[in-house]
Structure 1
Amino acid sequence: MRRVDSVPRPDWRARLDEVGFSFYDMESEGGRPYWNESAAYAFRLEEIERIEAATKELFDRCMDAVEHIVRKRRYAEFGIPTPFHDLVGESWDEDDPTVYGRFDLAYDGDRAIKLLEFNADTPTSLVETAAAQWQWLAESRGEGADQFNSLHEQLIEQWQHIRTSRWGLPDGARLHLASLHDSGDGELIVEDFDTVAYMAETAEAAGFDTKLVFVEDIKWQTDEARFVDADGEPIRHIFKLYPWEWMVTEQFGGFLLRSREATRWVEPAWKLLLSNKQLLVVLWELFPDHPNLLPAFATAEPFRRRPYVSKPRLGREGANVTVFDGSGFPIAENGGGYGDEGFIYQARARFAPIRGKTAIVGSWIVGETPAGIDLRETSGPITGDLAEFVPHFIEDSP
């Protein structure tokens, strides 16, 4: 893997607008735009094949971990409220379908590929990965250029599989898709809206009749004991870009227990066990010394004289992450509003020696199949909300 210079397209903003990616100017480090096509990451095919194999291996081990957690009823470790323990177990036992997820991986540019975390419930950077960087590849690298990216096609296939084989729905069946409108300031959360709109595009191609709604507008109809949208239409099948850990603690959370048969959610409730970083502790417990895992524990005690990282169990975008050196001294930290739920402690990973950059590989899974990668980079050791998105391509030789 190497980072190379690339000449931005003169009309790149207009071109990105055309694929439904509009938040490219979101501020990143140094005030630069979030989307950065003045550089690109080049991979050899052999590297891509190893990342793909590691992604499939990690997904399979995560499924083993969920089975273990459900059978042993270890829900309390994940902070799941007691009334929802059975909901999670039933969701797993009934094999509620999943559409997608994204592993964040540390790749050292040589052989080591290590799991940092699994964004299994509400992963973003979808539209820029699936659509924007594919457009960039075709227009910047020329005919015959390649990229590890089959996200769009696989999402359509997975939605079609869910509609026909899992839910038994006819062509034209309604699918609601929900995102949070704002964070209390009245301003649309454009990143979430664009992500859900893109997901709706893939679901429509799979035969669904889609309807975009906002989470704030979902209501509970008491007489009928069901969720409805702002127009009063029953919500029977819904994709939500909204975390389960928020849903189960909010006012309407209790209605989830009463509406299990009336409303089918994607992602499903069992994803509560994968979107929580306590998963990393369980994975290391079940598969110690696995080549794709980093040592992870519920306390920092095992890391005496070893560099490590503390992470809140439910943190996002690097918030409240602290990096410690071998003496236990903090050398980098991010602020944020997480941590009340507790922390896990993970060995510090090695990254590829890219001068002045720390690059994280986001490796996507659709259904049970690896589907592509994205690259986000920062100048420091913690990848937070100021990271830049940089496209990638596959080259034949260094």
Structure 2
Amino acid sequence: MRRLYGKARIGWEAEIESQGLVYNKTSLPDGDVRSYWREDVFYDFSAAEIDRLADATELLFAACVEAGDVILGDERLLDRLRIPRDARDVVRASWDAEPPSIYGRFDLWWDGAGEPRLLEFNADTPTSLVEAAVVQWAWHLETGQGRDQWNQLDDRLVAAWQRNLSRWEAHFGRRPRRVHLAWTEGDPSGEDWMTVAYMADCVQRAGYEAVVMTTEEIGLDTGDARFYDPRGNRLEVVFKLYPWEWLLADEYGPSVVADLRWGDTAWIEPIWKTLWSTKGLLPVLWQRYENDPVVSRHLLPAFFGDDPRAAELDATGFARKPLLGREGNNIELVGPGGDVLAQQGGRYGAEGWVLQQLCPLPDFAGPDGPHHPVLGTWVVDGEAAGLGIRESDGLITDNLSYFVPHTIDHRAAWEQPGR
């Protein structure tokens, strides 16, 4: 694993925007504009290193499946994970029925030498998909950097929609007339919109009609208690880039739960993802696997904030994370002596906290400063499918962190390792 320097393509900004990365530029408070995509650097891996990451990803996914069974068998854990009591029956039924589930993303710590370690699992509404599946692949083909890239995302996503929608057809005895894909107007950057637009393209290539809309446009007919789009088409399959905890707390939340009890709407990602889309999954995994010599190598000790065992982390330092935070919001890194190393503000935390052993991101420092990568390994239809890297100047990955492409087996004579 190496951080290398390359050469920016002429007209690269227009190129990546044409590929869907319309949210590349971020305006900073001081008036400057920051590019989200890094064109001049990339990370390179050996094929053996990619195999190692893929194996760790699939091992962690299997561990999460076992953890789901553990959580559903323990009402106290369901309480701690803030799973609403009036939705638990549909969460259990959804888990047992295995309705369509398309994708998820593990965020891993790795320096290329030690064991990859789980930082968190983005199981419900992961983004950075367009840049991982499309933009960095086009960069690889156009620049000729590296012999390959770990990136089967596009083909796997199309195949996942085909398989899961075929299962829906077999279950209900008919073909869905269309698939609705919804994003929320609350995202001003365009990232959610482009993620949904790309997923809609995958649906169309899978052979189904796709309709893109906003979650605000979803309507409930109080007569038949069904959900419809603005044109009066009933929602049969709906992909929602909108977290389940938000949806369940909305005005229509009880109606969604009722629809899941007796209706035939497939909500993707399914409601059982509430078991994984909380950082409360981290202490559940640690409690389940801390004595497992294989799985524990890919975990960090983690505890709920009110667990007396959390005091064990005072000696090592810890990351304090809200159960339902996003984009690094409200994360606090505390060193062994109690000093705060880094922190982010935000609106999360009232739902509870998790403490995870401090594991500072590796620093692939270069002449332009520190560079701390987080490796996002993608799972599509339950299998490891690709890699996307977010890189930060500081120790917390947030919405200003860069996306950096990667290669496999780069051999350019002019390379300049950044580490």
> TM-score normalised to the size of structure 1?
0.95
Code of the residue aligned with 2:302 in structure 1: it is A
For the residue of structure 2 that corresponds to 1:160, the secondary structure is: helix
In the alignment, what sits opposite 1:346? 356
| RMSD across aligned positions (CA) | 1.8
Structure 2 residue corresponding to 1:177, chosen from 175, 181, 185: 181
1:166 Cα shift?
A: 3.9
Q: CA deviation at 1:31?
A: 4.0
In the alignment, residue 291 of structure 1 is paired with which amino acid?
A: R
Same amino acid, percent of matched pairs: 38
Equivalent position to 2:373, from 323, 342, 359: 359
For the pair 1:329 / 2:347, whether they are aligned, the reply is no
Paired residues for 1:187-336 under 5 Å:
188-260=188-260, 261-289=263-291, 290-299=296-305, 300-336=310-346
Query: What is the deviation of 1:328?
Result: 1.9
Please list the CA deviations of residues 86-114 of structure 1 after superposition, one character each: whole Å capped at 9, or x if unmatched.
11111101112210000000002203200
Cα distance in 2 for partners of 1:28, 1:348 equals 29
CA distance in 2, matches of 1:148, 1:138: 13
Are the aligned partners of 1:178 and 1:239 in contact in 2 as well (CA < 8 Å)? yes
Report how far residue 38 of structure 1 moved.
Answer: 1.1
Q: Which of 28, 51, 54 is the matching residue for 1:52?
A: 54
Distance (whole Å) between structure 2 residues aligned to residue 357 and residue 65 of structure 1? 33
Give the distance between the partners of 1:244 and 1:284, measured in 2 at CA: 24
8 A contact 2:363–2:373 mirrored in 1: no
Deviates more, 1:146-155 or 1:167-176: 167-176
Q: Which runs of 5+ in 1 are unaligned?
A: none
Deviates more, 1:129-138 or 1:377-386: 377-386
Aligned length: 393
Offset of residue 171 of structure 1 = 6.8
Rate the CA distance shift 1:9–1:265 in 2: closer, same or farther, 3 A.
same
Q: How far did residue 22 of structure 1 move? A: 1.3
Cα contact 1:333–1:382 (8 A) shared by 2: yes
Shift of 1:136: 0.3
Matching of residue 106 in structure 1 with residue 126 in structure 2: no
| One-letter code aligned to 1:123 | P
Q: CA deviation at 1:182?
A: 2.6
Q: 1: distance between equivalents of 2:278 and 2:250?
A: 18
Matches within 5 A, 1:96-135: 96-135=99-138
Q: Distance in 2 between matches of 1:24 and 1:31?
A: 10
Residues 195 and 11 of structure 1, relative CA distance in 2, 3 Å threshold: same
CA distance in 2, matches of 1:362, 1:28: 25
Separation (CA, whole Å) in 2 of partners of 1:181 and 1:76: 31
CA apart distance, 1:278: 0.3
- Taking the aligned partners of 2:175 and 2:247, their CA distance within structure 1 comes to 30
Deviation at 1:163, TM superposition (A): 1.3
User: Shift in Å at residue 351 of structure 1?
Assistant: 3.6
**8 Å contact 1:28–1:385 — kept in the other structure?**
no
Question: Could you tell me how far apart the structure 2 residues matched to 1:288 and 1:107 are?
Answer: 19
Q: What TM-score results when the alignment is normalised by the length of structure 2?
A: 0.90
Whole-Å separation in 2 of the counterparts to 1:87 and 1:28: 43
Could you say which residue in structure 2 is the equivalent of 1:158? 160
Instruction: Give 3-state SS (helix, strand or coil) of 2:245's partner.
Output: helix
Cα shift at 1:208? 1.2
CA separation of 1:374/1:139 partners in 2, compared to 1, >3 Å: closer, same or farther?
same
Instruction: Tell me which of 71, 86, 92 is aligned to 2:95.
Output: 92
Instruction: Give the counterpart letter for 2:400 in structure 1.
Output: L
- The 2-side partners of 1:386 and 1:215 are apart by 26
The equivalent residue for 1:2 is 2
Q: Deviations over 1:22-54 (max 9, x none)?
A: 112235897420011111111111111100000
Partner SS for 1:310: strand
Moved more, 378-387 or 118-127: 378-387
**4+ runs deviating over 6 angstroms:** 169-172
Deviation at 1:396, TM superposition (A): 5.9
Gaps of 5+ in 2: 412-416
